Amino acid sequence: MTDTRPTAKPARPFFSSGPCAKPPGYSLDKLATASLGRSHRAKIGKERLALAINLMREVLELPDTHRIGIVPGSDTGAFEMAMWTMLGARPVTALAWESFGEGWVTDAVKQLRLEPTVVRADYGQLPDLDKIDWTNDVLFTWNGTTSGVRVPDGEWIPADREGLTFADATSGVFAYDIPWDKIDVATFSWQKVLGGEGGHGVIILGPRAVERLENYTPAWPLPKVFRLMAKGKLAEGVFKGETINTPSMLAVEDAIFALEWSKQVGGLEGLKARCKANAHALDKIVAERDWLGHLAVDSGIRSHTSVCLTVEGADADFIKKFAGLLEKEGAAYDIAGYRDAPAGLRIWCGATVETADIEALGPWLDWAWAQLKAPAEAA
């Protein structure tokens, strides 16, 4: 078999779905460093944390009705903080169409013992969103990172809902229009669409979530890192940069860089446009190859960020070899699908990826396919 490697490689072959590619032009020497080695309680620490919060509000176009807090534990910590502090006041419905949604089901059932109504769909699909009981609190992922499936919009969420909406939006914020009037709690981490560092989560609370916190005390103990109330009132300092525990100021400066870059590329509209352009470029690659497909067949619910692909006849071992070949060549890093998902590829198309690099990936996918499929067929 002739080994005809493509002549050009993606300039930045970083296609991991988390942590994701750094913003174009990023380098450590471009980060502000005056806050490093200083207390996060010092004036400069508080100012930089507050700046990160204010930039997130600006880029997300978040209304003043919603508070933003930087919390421990990445998106997982932020979402579990919301669950532990607010659930139990009324019945719960948990939606699951990928592994992280299933994780929230496990928390609700086995840890909090809430006996939620669980609504599931297979990888690549959504359940019927019109059949949800909105007298319940509802947990869902806006964009399923491990399935490549997203909710189409916020139209399925009623304005007059009785329960709270809890949106794990970590692969969704900065990539889609989020109807903040429909979202009571949203969580994410900087490591996704912003290409920031892991370890820190962000929690966004609407007024109905604040009301729940101030008028409901859960029956279970709360770890210190989950506590949003102090002396019977909302700990407002958390939403001004007075973090619950010690943050990495280097990670904060990294996030500030990404947010400033976001403004340079057009803010939220620019970020959404970059995601769509990348997803469109990958759609074209898939359409031109009969051995590739989308796990989310319905384009109306297909992710613009964590795009999950099927590979004809592939099992987990084939995908491991496929991704390994491309990593060895420096053509694509970390594109194997999530371990709990159906065997396939997962290619990040978030805003920090350049469309030209997605386009350059196509011939390398062909090359890896030929290296593995041709010998198998010959045998």
Q: Quick check: 157 and 135 in contact, CB under 8 A? A: no
Query: In this structure, which CATH number among 3.90.190.20, 3.10.20.740, 3.90.1150.10, 3.60.110.10 belongs to the domain 267-378?
Result: 3.90.1150.10
pLDDT in tens, 126-176: 999 999 999 999 999 999 999 999 999 999 999 999 999 999 999 999 999
pLDDT in tens, 10-40: 999 999 999 999 999 999 999 999 999 999 9
Q: Which two tokens stand for residue 331?
A: 């053509």
pLDDT at 69: 98
Dist CA 373 CA 318 (whole Å): 9
pLDDT in tens, 41-60: 999 999 999 999 999 999 99
Lowest mean pLDDT among 103-107, 346-350, 370-374: 370-374
Dist CA 157 CA 159 (whole Å): 7
Give the CATH number of domain 28-262: 3.40.640.10
**SS3 for 328-375, per residue?**
HHCCCECCECCCCCCCCEEEECCCCCCHHHHHHHHHHHHHHHHHHHHH
Is the pTM higher than 0.85? The answer reads: yes
Mean pLDDT of the chain: 96
As annotated, the residues of the chain forming the CATH 3.90.1150.10 domain(s) are 267-378
Dist CA 227 CA 219 (whole Å): 14
pLDDT at 4: 82
Terminal-to-terminal C-alpha distance of the chain: 13
pLDDT higher than threshold 90 for residue 236: yes
pLDDT higher than threshold 70 for residue 375: no
pLDDT at 2: 60
As annotated, the residues of the chain forming the CATH 3.40.640.10 domain(s) are 28-262
Q: What is the mean pLDDT of residues 288-294?
A: 98
pLDDT at 377: 63
Relative orientation angle of helices 207-215 and 74-86, to the nearest 10 degrees: 50
